[in-house]
Amino acid sequence: MKIIVEKEGELLDYLYKTIDMPKKRIKQYLTHGAIYVNNNRTTQYNYKLIKGMNIVIATDSKSKKTLPFDILFEDEHIIVVNKPSGLLTIATAKEKDKTLYHIVREYLVSKDRNARIFIVHRLDKDTSGIVVLAKDEKTKNKLQENWNEYVSLREYVAVVHGHMKKESNRIVQRLKETKTNLVYVSRNEEGKEAITNYKVIKENDDYSMLSINIETGRKNQIRVALATLNNPIVGDKKYSNIKDKENRLYLHANRLKLYYPYLKKDILFETSTPNEFKKIMK
């Protein structure tokens, strides 16, 4: 079944309103990876649709090339993905191939041998969540040069040790970095300003779940900000002395609102809270 998108919306709602099929069955197709938008498989209920996109519902999707993580949005200029924790965004001296850049590039080249890919922004290796990549250098430059003006929301969800002294707070710090790549708070006017806002959304006996909004994009700024409050992020082996049994950093970039110049409007990209975050907060 092939559908041409006639108006903007979110994938699940659009299909439910457009085709004669129960919502439960549409969800099953999504869950089993049988729905493609512009030839790209997605399992996201809220995948952003724009006019002119092609949707295909297939019962046999085994032959299709896919990524090992979700595509949140894709058109001819950008691809937006949900990066897993533990994956580098770009290569380092020690790791060349197991990176987000390499995996997405190989995926695109499998469909078009002339495909190119450019990193627009990064997430730490241990942080999961939304990453935007460009398919051409012009788009990459346009987004990077105007990033602070184009991005109006950078929201994260985190699980930290203990209870916060304040239900919400705005943390303003100046950060510097050591030669060993450790970020720390400068006690004078040196360093780069970092502004981190948080709000408590849930607590249990041991942990707190926070919604975090950053006004600046400094390296490790969320991890440093919470560690200085004596509420380090669960699984943070770099800025916490607490020995966690958890095998990942409990920090996830879950919402990004970006002005998209090709559409001349803001697009809000969203992901759900990782299941392990929900489990630890039970």
Report, in angstroms and rounded to the nearest whole number, the Rg of the chain calculated over CA atoms.
20
Is residue 198 within 8 Å of 191, Cβ to Cβ? no
CA distance 107 to 110: 5
Residue 236 structure tokens: 């943070």
Any idea what the Cα angle at residue 107 is, between residues 130 and 150, rounded to 5°?
30
Catalytic pick among 60, 112, 124, 126: 124
How far apart (Å, rounded) are the C-alpha atoms in residues 59 and 66?
15
End-to-end CA distance of the chain: 41
Q: Is 124 a catalytic residue?
A: yes
> In angstroms, rounded to a whole number, what is the distance separating the alpha carbons of residues 106 and 115?
9
Token code pair at residue 183: 């970020």
Collapsing DSSP states into helix, strand and coil, what is residue 101? helix
CA distance 220 to 217: 9
List, by residue number, the catalytic residues.
Answer: 124
